[in-house]
Amino acid sequence: MTRGPPVPSDGAPGWSPAWHIERFAEIGSTSDICAARARAGEPDGLVLLAAMQTAGRGRSGRAWASPVGNLYMSVLLRPACPAVQGGQFALLAGLSLAEALAACWGEPRKIGLKWPNDVMIGPAKLAGVLLDASVDAAGMIEWLVMGFGANLVAAPALTGRETIALADIAPPPLPEPVAQALLARLAFWRADLARDGGVALRAAWLARAHAPGTGLSVDGGRLVGAFEGIDAAGSLLLRMPNGAVQIVRSGDVGLP
């Protein structure tokens, strides 16, 4: 559901012409609509930015509360790369969001990352990314939608998880400058990924991640071990109690 026609923002100060931005006062889900537009053939670079969502969703189908003042944005990319590179794009999305929030807020508290793309302040979740994608018969990513949600003014309550908003610590930025900074970082890291295969991306991601040896659980305790880093594909490396290193390509990761 949307209220009023989308307003293209391409000509507004600070917006790059590389993106086609549509803004909504209210929308069902930026990611659902962005994915529908992708399936209909929308080209690379579509951005949907909403003041409020009525049907926001998080990972694993969780509902996502969407009060006015937070960031709700989805971006359509057509990377034309093998699906095995999807893990790199997960890191890219989370790092870009963390860097944009840090730049616009001034970072009075360090903004960190939890694999693959949860944005954290200490043990509390500040923001997250939801990825939707289509892979063709040749194993290539046909389209990729990155859905971004960031708690600028208010944090939703999540069962069993601590959450936080920037406003809990210091005056928060407005959603629009965060969106501008986020698109700039997405463009930067996308170009960098194409240049060096993700070497610099992984180093920058690790610089904001939890320290090596931090205890992690996967899927509510299916796997429990210590953070060992990430591999070249962006997968999580988890050192198990027996000393073996387990490669985790997908899963819901929790801190102790």
* Residue ranges covered by each domain of the chain: 7-208, 215-254
What amino acid is encoded at 43 in this protein?
Answer: P
Question: Is the confidence at residue 68, as pLDDT, over 80?
Answer: yes
CATH of domain 215-254: 2.30.30.100
Residue 196 has a CB neighbour count (10 Å cut-off) of 10
pLDDT of residue 67: 85
Q: What is the DSSP letter of 158?
A: B
CA distance linking residue 191 with residue 209, whole number of Å = 22
- Does the predicted model carry a pTM greater than 0.75? yes
CATH of domain 7-208: 3.30.930.10
Question: Is the confidence at residue 59, as pLDDT, over 70?
Answer: no
Pick from 65-74, 138-147, 169-178: least confident? 65-74
Q: How far is CA 234 from CA 16, 88, 149, in A?
A: 28, 5, 21
Q: Which one, of 1, 213, 2, 202, lies nearest residue 95 by Cα?
A: 202
The string of pLDDT tens digits covering residues 28-58 is 999 999 999 999 999 999 999 999 998 776 5
Residue with tokens 């997908």: 250
